[in-house]
């Protein structure tokens, strides 16, 4: 599933290419569950003729701001990709939403598994209410040691589950949760409120470092994530925990273990990420 870095890469790529473009038409809306809050005809009539003024990201949501306080919001879920095409290119199989811009470019939402969603909001206030119901702190914008401490207080859940909780930190999924915990040398089943202050600082720095490095590498491509031009990311070549069952830990050489937490495969190093915590400074 595209996580924060993959959505950020797509937002940056689209920003460079579609800002200032006017929507000529919306179409290919053949899968009603993909539009949970607007009928296709209403969405088409509402966005047609409006210019794209902003392209941003919040958590795993891509936010397109259209003139007149109108917002198109895309969540790619498991398999969705947003691809820019030239006019007249035949849509790829599994295209379930498309925007055509004046001048010819087209933005196609291609989603084989059809879990992706496209929302329409007709004011920033409605968009903000939707997002604030669902999302907590932005790891790269809002996260400070003080805020992390305040947010983690009283959370008895396991660290892995907490990192996956979008209302806690927005944008982290299964891949980056495992990578962050490996980097921070924290066991995924640790109770969140048992972290010492140095461990919380390690978690904070690991979250920022892992996500920023993944953005620099243009995301992680496994099943199908590609950017708006169809290019794959490179971060899959740099993973140190996720998916590495039995391979040596790149820090200590012990085989990486896989366990299941909240029905999600979870990879960690049993030596570097001890259940009882690690002493400060230990590598």
Positions touching Zn ion (CB under 5 A) are 249, 251-252, 269, 271-272
Active site annotation includes 60 = yes
Rounded CA-CA distance 278/283 in Å is: 9
User: Of the residues 5, 6, 58, 60, which is catalytic?
Assistant: 60
Rounded CA-CA distance 114/59 in Å is: 20
Beta-carbon-side half-sphere exposure of residue 190 (alpha carbons within 13 Å): 27
Q: 122: which DSSP letter? A: S
Active site annotation includes 44 = no
Give min distance, CB of 250 to Zn ion, in A: 8
User: Of the residues 17, 77, 200, 264, which is catalytic?
Assistant: 264
Cβ pair 187, 275 in contact under 8 A: yes
Whichever of 135 and 269 has its CB closer to Zn ion, that residue is 269
User: First and final CA of the chain: distance in angstroms?
Assistant: 31
Per-residue burial over 32-64, b if 16 or more Cβ lie within 10 Å, else e, is eebbeebebeebbebbeebbbeebbbbbbbbbb
Give min distance, CB of 270 to Zn ion, in A: 8
Rounded CA-CA distance 67/52 in Å is: 6
Please state the φ and ψ torsions of residue 118, each to the nearest 5 degrees. Answer: -125, 120
Whichever of 73 and 269 has its CB closer to Zn ion, that residue is 269
Give min distance, CB of 148 to Zn ion, in A: 24
Whichever of 218 and 244 has its CB closer to Zn ion, that residue is 244
Give min distance, CB of 146 to Zn ion, in A: 30
Question: What DSSP element (H or E) covers 26?
Answer: strand 23-27
| Residue nearest to Zn ion according to CB distances in the complex | 249
Active site annotation includes 264 = yes
Give min distance, CB of 195 to Zn ion, in A: 19
Active site annotation includes 32 = no
Whichever of 258 and 271 has its CB closer to Zn ion, that residue is 271
Three-class secondary structure of residue 266 per DSSP: strand
Cβ of 251: how many Cβ atoms within 10 Å? 15
Rounded CA-CA distance 118/38 in Å is: 9
Rounded CA-CA distance 157/264 in Å is: 15
Whichever of 239 and 272 has its CB closer to Zn ion, that residue is 272
Rounded CA-CA distance 208/238 in Å is: 16
Cβ pair 138, 166 in contact under 8 A: no
Whichever of 25 and 259 has its CB closer to Zn ion, that residue is 259
Give min distance, CB of 151 to Zn ion, in A: 28
* Residues classed as catalytic: 2-3, 60, 264
């Amino acid at each position: 599933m595209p996580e924060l870095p993959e959505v950020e890469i797509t937002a940056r790529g689209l920003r460079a290419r579609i800002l200032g473009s006017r929507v000529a038409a919306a179409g290919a809306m053949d899968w009603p569950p993909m539009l949970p809050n607007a009928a296709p005809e209403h969405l088409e009539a509402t966005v047609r003729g409006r210019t794209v003024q902003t392209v941003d990201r919040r958590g795993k949501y891509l936010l397109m701001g259209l003139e007149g306080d109108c917002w198109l919001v895309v969540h790619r879920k498991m398999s969705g990709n947003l691809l820019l095409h030239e006019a007249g290119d035949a849509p790829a199989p599994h295209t379930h939403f498309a925007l055509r811009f004046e001048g010819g470019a087209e933005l196609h939402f291609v989603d084989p598994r059809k879990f992706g969603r496209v929302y329409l909001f007709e004011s920033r206030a409605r968009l903000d209410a939707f997002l604030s119901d669902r999302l907590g702190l932005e790891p790269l914008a809002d996260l400070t040691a003080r805020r992390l401490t305040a947010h983690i207080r009283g959370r008895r859940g396991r660290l892995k589950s907490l990192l996956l909780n979008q209302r806690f930190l927005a944008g982290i999924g299964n891949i980056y949760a495992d990578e962050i915990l490996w980097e921070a040398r924290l066991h995924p089943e640790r109770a969140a409120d048992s972290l010492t202050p140095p461990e919380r600082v390690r978690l904070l720095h690991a979250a920022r470092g892992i996500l920023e490095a993944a953005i620099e590498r243009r995301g992680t491509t496994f099943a199908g994530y590609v950017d708006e031009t169809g290019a794959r990311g490179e971060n899959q070549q740099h993973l140190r925990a996720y998916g590495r069952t039995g391979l040596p830990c790149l820090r200590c050489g012990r085989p990486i273990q896989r366990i299941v937490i909240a029905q999600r495969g979870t990879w960690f190093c049993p030596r570097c990420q001890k259940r009882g915590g690690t002493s400060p400074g230990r590598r």
